[in-house]
Chains A and B, each alone.
Chain A
Amino acid sequence: MDNIKKLPDSVNKKGGIMLILGVIILLVAFVFEPQRAFFDYLWIYMFLVSIGVGSLALVGLEYLVGATWSTPFRRITEILASITPVLIILVIPLFFGLHDLFHWTHHEVVESDKILQSKSPYLNVEFFSIRTAFCLLLWLVFFFFMTRNSQKQDLDGDVTYTKRNITLSTVFTPFFVITITVTAVDWMMSLEPHWFSTIYGVYYFAGTVVASFAATTIAAVLLKQGGYLDPRIKNDSFYSLGTMMFGFNVFWAYIGFSQYLLIWYADLPEETFWLIHRWEGSWKFVSIALLFVHFIIPFLVLVGRRAKTNIGLLKIMAPWMLFAHALDLYWLIFPTYFKEGAGFSWPELSFPLIVIGLTMILFKVLSDKKNLIPVKDPKLQAGLEFHL
């Protein structure tokens, strides 16, 4: 294992520059348009939740179902999941912008609004904060124990660590589903507190899983091509990454369509306005673009078997899916701010800069400390031998 190259220091430098640039843009935006800056920041935060917590769920899923094909990639997913503890720091600035983001936090608005009054037992700042803290702590605890077990196994290869992680992930998976639903409802659905959709949590969850698979895929492809991964990992192993990305993408479309169809059928004014707003002005083009970018084009590209073993194609499609998820979140969050039509300008550039910069730094810092594959995992050999 010692002959594996370490990531160059330039990764840290590039990532740092991007991160600092992103933060500066965000701060400048805050000076000029504070509300817009908070919406941008919420966008960034939700995307990082998607990738971080989604990756944690993928790690749990591997233990839960006893998958072997993903074991060589698990350390990459774990590094992506280490965004989770960072979220606890990242969430703090958002709490200063609650008034800018959520109009149910204004007492005078709630007093004159009967619907918000009846929702206030759930939608109030205190309970909201408790829920957010609970979710973050829960993720942190499971992240800490699961990665620690995985980490320790690198030293002695003891099977009990795997068994412990299986128990942990069995407990974590239902909690993950609940917390991700609560997070989606709290931080995004309550932007339009009058609107409701019971499938919203699943919708965000589906996007989350697609984004995490895409993030793992692009990281694995880049590391593989740079020669940082064990050379025993063959192209066949990437097949399943492509398949899962494809499968969950179809699931996302299925959930998105289910939400749309039910709202369309019932035709109730309290539900339809949310979709109608996304069909007005230039939002119409964003909605159509979302359909093509997130579903139709990836579906047609990835449907064949050969497409999923083609690393060159995965190198395009994985960032494509990450972009699609960012577009999906943009479509969910920003209509509340850009009422007239979709807008994109320099403040929004902070999104790619911060997300990519932060991930790069995390990769550099953590890959120096850890092996990039779980070297003594009992399932590793089966995972490396995976072939079609």
Chain B
Amino acid sequence: MFGRILNKIDEEFLKSEPRKGELFAVSALFDTPDQIITSAEKVSGSGYRRFDVLTPYPMHGLDNAMRLRETKIGWVGLLAGMSGTTLAFLMIWWMVGIDYKNVIGGKPFFNIAPSIPIMFELTVLLSALTLVAFLIAVFNKLPSNANPLMATEFMKHVTSDKFGIYIEAKDPKFNQNEIKSLFSSLGASEVYDINEVSYDEGKTKNPILDFKFVGNLIGVGIVTAILSYFTLNYLLFLPPFNWMHHQAKVLPQSESKFFNDGFSMRKPVEGTVARGFIPYEFKGMHDSLVVETPNPLPVTKEILEKGKKNFDIYCSPCHGYYGKGDSRLRGQFPVPPTLHSEKVRSWKDANIYHVITNGQNVMPSYEKQISRDDRWAIIHYLRVLQRSQNAPDSDFEGK
């Protein structure tokens, strides 16, 4: 079934020529590097153009002997590299300069200096990938998936111990017998005919759609996927190598198996008092029920400064920096009362403490935000504010 579909694709779109296994090239093997250099000089000197030399390792001087034109591949690399540079530049400029501006360390959104490493890397990446793709496409003659040289004795030797040369049948000067005698006169140890790969009738015509090839590709893909899945998920975590994957703790979004109710944490026992938090005993009670306690803190410079700091943070947004009820939030909320009224001034410290802790009218409780000591410090500071705004005449006489 699958093979038939491939056949259909091939006939509909690719329409490749049938392969008959014609003569591809005449090849020869040589034993020494010097021989191959002289042979290359001789072959190129005789006017052959479609020929190539294969050696087990890169050899200096071969390109001169073969009379190769200087390769143009450098320009491909340059072009691809410059595209990489430009692409990286535009990418960063658009990302950090336009699409997603973020202030980092007070620097300009887009700057060339930090972009240079990325520009450099994309230059290298793009030119390398392009060159590899170019190499595969041009030199391996895509979409052909095989070269007639593969799976020959010739190829076995030039990749291990001998130096080989071949002249293609497509060369305009090609003459099988002439070339063979030329190779023998140069001292070739072996001369081979190399034929095109032939395909049986009835199979897919284009080798890239060969059932075996595509089937193998898919098969290898599936096997690799299954193997990697099992390796990464099970094999790596076989005991004793569990990599701390299994721990005696309750993970988020899962139930505790230890406690009946499924929670991993217990609620504190009723009446538990958190460290440093002394509960307010008159919480929620009416003013008249409050037993008056004196301010436990002494009046010192440090306490007053602490009070000022906390007043400015928590009280001033509504009551204003001077407690006059003229704050920056005026108009957005019900107007907060002044703290210089006769009522507040005549309040005992405990009353003010009660209001801060309990809240009053629109004012919420500040029990959670302001610690106990800070509340008493605020009250000291508030008394200073009140005295400053309502100083009796005796203050002016001074000392």
Contacts and interface: CB of A to CB of B under 8 A. Distances in A.
Interface in B333-386: none
B116 A388 contact: no
A388 B70 CA distance: 13
B267 interface: no
Contacts, number: 22
B80 to A, nearest CB: 15
Interface in A237-257: 257
Interface residues of B, number: 12
Contacts of A304: 74
Contacts of B232: none
Classify the interface of chain A: helix, strand, loop or mixed: helix
Contact of A260 (B61, B64, B107, B113): B113
A261 B116 contact: yes
A265 B116 contact: no
A267 interface: yes
B398 interface: no
A267 B114 CA distance: 13
Given A265-B105, A267-B107, A257 B116 contact: yes
A261 B113 contact: yes
A265 B107 CA distance: 8
A186 B116 CA distance: 31
Interface in B92-120: 105-107, 113-114, 116-117
A388 to B, nearest CB: 6
A210 B60 CA distance: 26
Interface size class on chain A is 10 to 19
A387 interface: yes
Contacts of B105: 265, 267
A37 B233 CA distance: 72
Nearest to A261: B113
Nearest to B116: A257
A299 to B, nearest CB: 13
Interface in A160-185: none
Top-7 shortest CB links A-B? A264-B113, A387-B61, A387-B60, A261-B113, A388-B60, A267-B105, A257-B116
16 contacts: A257-B116, A260-B113, A261-B113, A261-B116, A261-B117, A264-B113, A265-B105, A265-B114, A267-B105, A267-B107, A305-B74, A386-B60, A387-B60, A387-B61, A388-B60, A388-B61
Interface of A: 257, 260-261, 264-265, 267, 304-306, 386-388
Interface of B: 60-61, 64, 70, 74, 105-107, 113-114, 116-117
